Amino acid sequence: MSESAGDKKHEASQYRREQAREQGQVARSQDLGSAVLLLGLIFILNFTGPNVIRTLLEIMEMNFSGDLYWTTDPREVIQHIIIVVGKISLALLPLLAAAVLIALSVNWFQIGFLFLPEKLNMDWERINPIKGFERIFSMAGVARLLFSILKIGIIGAIVIAGSSTQVTRLISSSEMPFEFVGGFLWSTVFNATVQTGVILLVLALADFGFQKWKFSQDLMMTDQEVRDEYKQTQGDPALIARRRAVQRQLAQQRIGAAVPKSDVVVTNPTELAIALQYDPETMPAPIVVAKGADAMAKKIRQIALENGIPILERKPLAQALFKSVDIGKPIPVDQYTAVAEVLKYVYQLKGKKMPNLKKPEAA
């Protein structure tokens, strides 16, 4: 019993993968970008945080002290707003630049460079509520929901377990100096965030591996899809076979007309056959009127035998002529001596005098 044509049992071809990529279908994990971004930003914030705090303190001191706090001049207010926005932007610039760089790097790691401007066009299917409910309550949507719940549970349990040791110190922080409280709170938040980021990263890497596997499974092809793709890329196999048959027929017709006019057939002895013709009155050098390999070589030998054309076995000469000389072209200069010996033998068989075969003078 033949296998069903609907079974996806063939690995996706390179053409199918390229087509899917052009349509925006790639294997990627959204959680991986979030995890790397969280870890990257918390470490960068650990270095840039003091500068951000100093900037905020300067802005607060500038706004809530002195005469500027009471000014009502619109020009001074606008100028002051520009200064404040500029200072905040400079303080946050390293953090924002790092966020963009990390996001681009993670996406490039997952899918490489992919530019799809057509995805910016309005697609009403994306805002279709019916399609939206189908996506939410599909098997894939339920699986994502269960994975999210599991992820939240694992992260919550580990963070709570790691932070439980800090509860006592947090309760007694009201009696600590202000500077110490700030450092203690930041240390607690930093450690908890790093723990969360590491857990997210591990889960995201597992999700990324699963998405790549699932993507490969979704792209697998049935027998019919393989046949359809072959027709699309290479053409209909029946037409290709018919075209090749016509080409073989035409080649055989040319051989049938050319070989009887030749003077000798040089063979390999069975794999190659080259038919040579030489007319000293009209040709400056012998020409190759037909050549072929395997079945075509057999056909040339058959026609030569039927027409009484001498067949000589000269392996090096046959190989050289087959590789270097096209049909209808004269033999190369470096083969003059070998061809002259063959023609001399043929002319002796026919009882004729061998014409002079001179090499052309070098320019």
Please, what are the domains in the chain?
A: 14-229 (no CATH), 240-350 (3.40.1690.10)
Q: What is the pLDDT of residues 135-183, one digit of tens each?
A: 656 666 677 777 778 778 877 777 777 666 666 666 665 666 666 666 7
> Greatest CA span in the chain, whole angstroms?
126
Other C-beta atoms lying within 10 Å of the C-beta of residue 85: 10
Model pLDDT, residue 70: 57
Question: Higher model confidence: residue 37 or residue 241?
Answer: 37
Tens of pLDDT, residue by residue over 111-134, are 777 766 666 666 656 666 666 566
Q: Which residue has the higher pLDDT, 80 or 288?
A: 288
Which residue pairs, CB below 8 angstroms and at least 24 apart, start in 18-22?
Answer: 20/219, 21/114, 22/116
Q: At 58, is the secondary structure helix, strand, or coil?
A: helix
pLDDT in tens, 49-73: 788 888 887 877 777 665 555 556 6
Strand-pairing partners, residue 293, are: 272
The string of DSSP letters for 106-139 reads HHHHHH-S---GGGGS--GGGG-HHHHHHHHTSH
Predicted confidence band of residue 356 (pLDDT cuts 50, 70, 90):
low
> 362 pLDDT band (50/70/90 cuts)?
very low
Lowest mean pLDDT among 29-43, 108-122, 186-200, 257-271: 108-122
- Helix or strand run (H / E) with residue 193: helix 178-219
Please give the structure tokens belonging to residue 146: 């269960």
Has residue 335 got a pLDDT over 80? yes
Confidence of residue 279 (pLDDT cuts 50, 70, 90): confident
Q: Is the pLDDT of residue 82 over 60?
A: yes
Contact indicator for 218, 16 with CB cutoff of 8 Å: no
Q: Say which range, 142-146, 193-197, 234-238, 310-314, has the weakest mean pLDDT.
A: 234-238
- DSSP conformation letters of 7-40: ---BPPPHHHHHHHHHTT-----HHHHHHHHHHH
Q: Using alpha carbons only, give the angle 99, 103, 105 rounded to the nearest 5 degrees.
A: 115
Dist CA 231 CA 239 (whole Å)? 10
Top-ranked range on mean pLDDT: pick from 30-39, 56-65, 348-357? 30-39
Is the separation of the CB atoms in 27 and 109 below 8 Å?
no
| Percent above pLDDT 70 for the chain | 73
Pairing mode, strands 264-267 and 311-313: parallel
Secondary structure letter of residue 123 according to DSSP: -
Instruction: Tell me the pairing of strands 264-267 and 272-277.
Output: antiparallel
Most confident of 2-16, 227-241, 242-256, 301-315: 301-315
Would you tell me how many other CB atoms lie within 10 Å of the CB of residue 361?
5
Burial of 220 (0-12, 13-18, 19+ CB in 10 A): middle
Report yes or no: 277 and 286 within 8 Å, Cβ to Cβ.
yes
Backbone angles phi, psi at 356, to 5 degrees: -70, 130
- pLDDT for res 85: 84
> Which amino acid type is present at position 129?
P
pTM beyond 0.75: the answer is no
What DSSP state is assigned to residue 125?
G
3-class secondary structure, 363: coil
Predicted local distance difference test score (pLDDT) of residue 165: 64
* Mean residue pLDDT across the chain: 77
Q: What number is the average pLDDT over the span 188-201? A: 82
Residues 6+ apart with CB under 8 A from 332: 324, 325
Average pLDDT on 13-40 reads: 80
Q: What is the mean pLDDT of residues 89-111?
A: 85
| pLDDT band at 17; cut points 50, 70, 90 | confident
